[in-house]
Structure 1
Amino acid sequence: MVNMLKLLQEQQQTIISALGHHIFLSIISVSIAALIAIPLAILLMNHRRIGEIMLQVTGIVQTIPSLAILGLLIPFVGIGTVPAVIALVLYALMPIFQNTYAGLTQIDSELLEASEAFGLSWSYKLFKIRLPLALPLIFSGLRIAMVMVIGTATLAALIGGGGLGTFIMQGIQNNDNQQLLIGATLSALLAIIFSICLQALSHLSVKKLTVGLVTFLTLGIGLMGYQFYQTQQNNKIVIAGKLGSEPEILMNMYQELIQADHPEIEVELKPNFGNTSFLYRALQNDQVDVYPEFTGTVLQNLYPQKLKSHEPAEVYTQAKQVLQAKDGFTYLEPMAYENRYALAVDQETAKTYHLKTISDLAKVSSELSAAFDNDFYTQADGFGGLKQAYGLDLKDIKRVEPSLRYEALKNNQVQVTDVYTTDPQIKAQHLVVLTDDKQFFPPYQGAPLLNARVMQTHPEIVASLNKLAGKISAEDMVDMNYQVTIEHKKAHTVAKNYLKEKKLLP
């Protein structure tokens, strides 16, 4: 609790900003969904067959994984707030439409017959009889949608959409329970507060609610439009990175180097993208200008190629040529260290089974269980290829989030896991990294990847970023990752200290 309060104090402005953006995302999404779902339910209340079809359609949308929707939207609307809002609107449609439609179609038929007998107009019956009677169910749908959207909005952080999900993602990746609790607790509190507020609003008249909703929605859409316009007009450089401490450290180094040489250039950081393909699409769509990418990832994931060599320099050259030919991207000179895939075991397992290499592991693999990151399990340069190359036959394999595989190993739930060779947990848990004696894994050197737009508008940043070429040893990177992930230091501070220590900053 003391550490959590300290973090709240240190990052007060960041937390307030994330909270405000999360509230904005949630309210604007539910408002748009209500503006679509409620009129649609009114339109279909006397057309039961079509209404039932719409109930099925909105229900099907609800079953689509949110990450899949976000991934599908990126090529069309890019990253950030817009795709997040679209995805959240789709998720909010079902409960609002379902409850509104049920409320409007389950009104006592005798009451409706009496209104017909009195010759009341359609609009009078709608606003004075149907909607007031259906209001409790409509607000029940709004409350369900709001709670659902507040929870789902945490995933917006994976595509640079911001919000409280940023703290949750950082907490998971850096094994920082304080950040995780801040994100989760504030998200839960928001859901409770908005549920109570919607309950209070249910006592207002239909007319006041309609005017309030339309006014808020107009303001919200206007704000989104202004933000989008400002983004298009602003000539700033956007630097992004994948999940984890290492990409965040590198991003901060890029920012420091650029602004030290060119203080007039505005640089924006977008950390914690959850997927390589998400980030690369954003680079293609000019919504991200620079991000650190690894040579092996380019040739194994982005544009799968048969490696001409396992020599790091030749792999870099091949990756650079592919990126230039496919998308016109510039791939700068790599840093010294490599962040390869590897397999690791704890010291007791290594001693018991005499494990030093992956070939040693293959001989006893049928007796051991493993926990693998999902990417490692599915990629061509991951477990599938490794299994064939070494003849691995593990007893049991669990597919888990990256940070959880270390917990599984620590708790002796598994004996083997995949690691990146610069992961700080290797140092923290004193793990034994098994030698890839058949050289299955390709080299993974990190380097800044730049799109064509930033090369045209700010070619001067190349010289700044190239100051990292050939720098940062594996030991340096492990130590910096350790400071951020295990000691919970800020990535910005760690990055700046390294650059000053190496005299890359004044």
Structure 2
Amino acid sequence: MNAVIHILQTQSGGIMEALGQHISISLISLFIAALIAIPLAIILMTHKKTAEVILQITSILQTIPSLALLGILIPFVGIGTIPSVIALVIYAVMPIFQNTYSGLTTIDPNLEEAAEAFGLSRTKKLLKFQIPLAMPMIISGIRIAMVMIIGTATLAALIGAGGLGTYILLGIETNNNALLLIGAVLSAILTLIFSFLIKIISRLSLKKIGILVTTMIVLFGGYAGYRSIARPDVNITIAGKMGGEPEILINMYKDLIEQDHPNMKVSLKPNFGGTSFLYKALQTGSVDIYPEFTGTVLQTLVKNKQQIGHDPEKTYLLAQKLLKEQAQMTYLQPMEYQNGYDLAVKKSFAKKYNLKTISDLVKIEGQLHAGFDPDFYQQPAGFPGVKKSYNLDIASVKTMEPSIRYKAIANDKVNLVDGYTTDPEIKEYNLVVLKDDKNYFPPYQGAPLMTEKFATKYPEIKKTLNKLSGKISATDMQKMNYLVTVKHEKASKVAHEYLVSHNLLK
């Protein structure tokens, strides 16, 4: 609970922003789903066969896993809020349509005859008689859809739409139960609040509901219009991958740009998603800049037939060249530190067996019990390559999630783990990174990535961001990661202090 309270105190602004994003996505999705499903049910209430076909279609759509549906939508509508809303609407239409249709078609026939006997027109019959009687079923469908939307909306964080899912995913990735708890509890509270509000709305007359809906449309439209008018002359969007380190870097970019170019306003999108999502967002113009690593570029983003060398400069130049040729991207100068793979042991274990390099592991390979990330264990560039290059035959290997492996070595469940050279857990758990004495692992230097079109339009930004070229050592980044991830200090504060202390910021 102390950790939860500390995060709430230090990250209240970010939590409130994520909460606002979650509410916005949920309300928009629920409103659109109701706007589609309710009129459709009214139209088809006298067309039973067509209604059954629609129900079958919506039921089939509900069986598609959320992540698969998001993946299907990305090539067509990009990433961010739009595909998230579309996916949520698809899931929400079925319960609203089904309940509305059932409510309208299960009214007592005697009451139907009575309404006709009073000479009500079709419209008056619908508004004064059928919809009021069906309202409990309609509200029940909306409530079911609302619960479904709020729960599924947490996945929006995977494609850069933000929301409370950001904290849930960060909690899972970093094994931080406090973050996980904050995201999950707030989602549950949001569901209860929405459910209560829907219950209150259900007691209103159709006229008052219509006024309420119209007011919400006006408010949302007015706010969107104000945001578009109030935008500065130049608005730059910078995004980062999941985790503390990318957030530190993008805050540095923001501070440097806004200092050198006061007329520019920088918007940050931290924890925007994985590599493929971010790269797609850059290509489609959803974001303008994000930090990427040389090894990742050559292994994931471009077609590379050349063997990745171990010279950092040559690796960067090859990545820069291929990005320009294949994707019309501009890759700025890299920072000093490398966030590449490493192998680590506890300091006491290293001292006991005099371990300094990966080669030193060979002499005690029969006593090694490793905990590796599944990707590292399987990828040719990971453990299979290390095993072959160092002729290393480890006694046993267990695969586990990245954050869990550090807990495992801290609790002596394993004595060797893989990781990244700037992981804050190295400092937190007092680990020793073994030197890659055969230079097996490729270089992973970070640098700002942007499209050539953007770089040509704003050449002054290139000059500004290149101030970080050759700066930030591995020790510096490890310390900053520790402050953000373990001590829960604000990434913006940590980034600002580094820039000021190194005379990069006034």
Q: What's the TM-score bracket when you normalise by the shorter of the two chains?
A: 0.7 to 0.9
CA distance, structure 2, for counterparts of residue 343 and residue 104 of structure 1: 65
Report the AA paired with residue 300 of structure 2: N
- Answer yes or no: is the 8 Å Cα contact 2:335–2:446 preserved in 1: yes
Q: Is the 8 A contact 1:307 1:315 kept in 2?
A: no
Whichever residue aligns with residue 134 of structure 1, its letter is: A
User: SS where residue 371 of structure 2 aligns?
Assistant: strand
Pairwise mapping of residues 346-495 of structure 1 onto structure 2 (< 5 A)? 346=346, 357=358, 360=361, 368=369, 370-372=371-373, 376=376, 381-382=381-382, 397-398=398-399, 400=401, 402-411=402-411, 417-434=417-434, 436=436, 439-495=439-495
SS of 1:273 mapped into structure 2: coil
Q: 2:57 aligned with 1:57, yes or no?
A: yes
Q: Separation in 1 of the partners of 2:64 and 2:126?
A: 34
What is the CA–CA distance in structure 1 between the aligned matches of 2:233 and 2:294, rounded to whole Å? 31
Asked if structure 2 preserves the Cα contact closer than 8 Å seen for 1:242 and 1:276, the reply is yes
**Shift in Å at residue 476 of structure 1?**
1.3
Q: Which runs of 5+ in 1 are unaligned?
A: none
SS of 2:35's partner is helix
Q: Distance in 2 between matches of 1:125 and 1:42?
A: 12
What SS is found at the alignment partner of 2:459?
coil
Say if 1:362 and 1:393, in contact at 8 Å, map to a contact too: no
Q: Deviations over 1:129-162 (max 9, x none)?
A: 4333322222112112112222222333333323
Structure 2 counterpart of 1:302 = 301
**Partner amino acid, structure 2, of 1:246:** E
Is 2:224 aligned against 1:197?
no
Which of 222-231 and 121-130 deviates more?
222-231
Aligned twin of 1:291: 290
Residues 1:36 and 2:36 aligned together: yes
Q: Is the 8 A contact 1:312 1:445 kept in 2?
A: yes
Matched letter for residue 274 of structure 1 = G
Q: Distance in 2 between matches of 1:382 and 1:113?
A: 75
Q: Contact 1:28/1:217 (CA < 8 Å) preserved in 2? A: no
Do the aligned residues in 2 keep the contact of 1:71 with 1:278 (CA within 8 Å)? no
Q: Which moved more, 1:280-289 or 1:173-182?
A: 173-182
User: Is the contact made by 1:171 and 1:177 (CA closer than 8 Å) also made in structure 2?
Assistant: yes
Q: Given the superposition, is the C-alpha separation of residues 2 and 192 from structure 1 closer, same or farther in structure 2, using an over 3 Å criterion?
A: same
- CA gap of 1:410–1:457, structure 2 versus 1, over 3 A, is same
Q: Separation in 2 of the partners of 1:54 and 1:364?
A: 62
Amino acid in structure 2 at the alignment position of 1:199: K
1:243 aligned partner, one-letter code: M
**Alpha-carbon separation, structure 1, partners of 2:308 and 2:20:** 50
Does the Cα contact within 8 Å between 2:310 and 2:440 map onto a contact in 1? no
Aligned with 2:240: secondary structure? strand
Moved more, 24-33 or 204-213: 204-213
User: C-alpha offsets along residues 438-470 of structure 1, whole Å, 9 cap, x if unaligned?
Assistant: 644321111111222321332111121111111
Give, in angstroms, the shift of residue 280 of structure 1.
0.4
Query: Separation in 1 of the partners of 2:447 and 2:61?
Result: 39
- CA 1:234–1:31 in structure 2 vs 1: closer, same or farther (change >3 Å)? farther
Distance 1:347 1:285, change over 3 A: same
Provide closer, same or farther for how the CA distance between residues 415 and 10 of structure 1 changes in structure 2, counting only shifts above 3 A. closer
Indicate conservation of the 8 Å contact 1:88/1:153, yes or no: yes
TM-fit CA distance, 1:34 = 0.7
User: Which position in structure 2 is the counterpart of 1:85?
Assistant: 85
The verdict on how the C-alpha distance between 1:166 and 1:369 changes in structure 2, with shifts beyond 3 A counting, is same
Give the match's secondary structure for 2:291: strand
Letter in 2 for 1:475: T
**One-letter amino acid of the counterpart of residue 444, structure 1:** Y
1:371-391 CA distance string (max 9 Å, x none): 525x54675634576677668
Task: Quote the Cα distance in structure 2 between the aligned partners of 1:33 and 1:391.
Answer: 57
Query: Partners of 1:505 and 1:114 in 2: how far apart?
Result: 79
Q: Deviations over 1:422-446 (max 9, x none)?
A: 1011221133445556644321111
Distance in 1, matches of 2:53 and 2:108, equals 23
1:44-79 deviation digits (Å, cap 9, x = unpaired)? 333334333333332333333333433444444344
| Deviation of 1:87 (Å) | 2.5
* Residue 323 of structure 1, CA deviation: 0.6
Aligned to 1:238: 237
Kept in 2, the 8 Å contact 1:298–1:319? The answer is: yes
Q: Does 1:70 align with 2:88?
A: no
Amino acid in structure 2 at the alignment position of 1:251: I
Letter in 2 for 1:333: Q
> Using the alignment, how far apart are the partners of 1:481 and 1:143 within structure 2?
42
- With over 3 angstroms needed to count, the CA separation of the structure-2 counterparts of 1:435 and 1:64, relative to structure 1, is farther
* Partners of 1:249 and 1:416 in 2: CA distance: 28
- The aligned counterpart of 2:185 is 185
**Pairwise CA distance, 1:94:** 2.5
- Structure 1 residue 242: deviation in Å? 0.4
Which residue is 1:21 aligned to?
A: 21
CA distance in 2, matches of 1:141, 1:366: 59
Structure 1 vs Structure 2: percent identity of aligned residues? 54
Q: Give the letter aligned to residue 331 of structure 1.
A: Y
Q: Using the alignment, how far apart are the partners of 1:384 and 1:152 within structure 2?
A: 37
Aligned length: 503
> 41-50 or 167-176, which moves further after superposition?
167-176
Contact 2:423 2:481 in 1 (8 A): yes
Q: What does residue 262 of structure 1 align with?
A: 261
Describe the shift of the 1:192–1:349 C-alpha distance in structure 2 as closer, same or farther (beyond 3 A).
Answer: farther
After superposition, give the CA deviation of every residue in 1:214-252 in whole Å (9 maximum; x if it has no partner): 553465356456656877x85211111101111111111
The aligned counterpart of 2:326 is 326
Q: Which is further off, 244-253 or 445-454?
A: 445-454
Shift of 1:106: 3.5
Give the whole-Å Cα distance in 1 for the aligned partners of 2:473 and 2:366.
Answer: 32
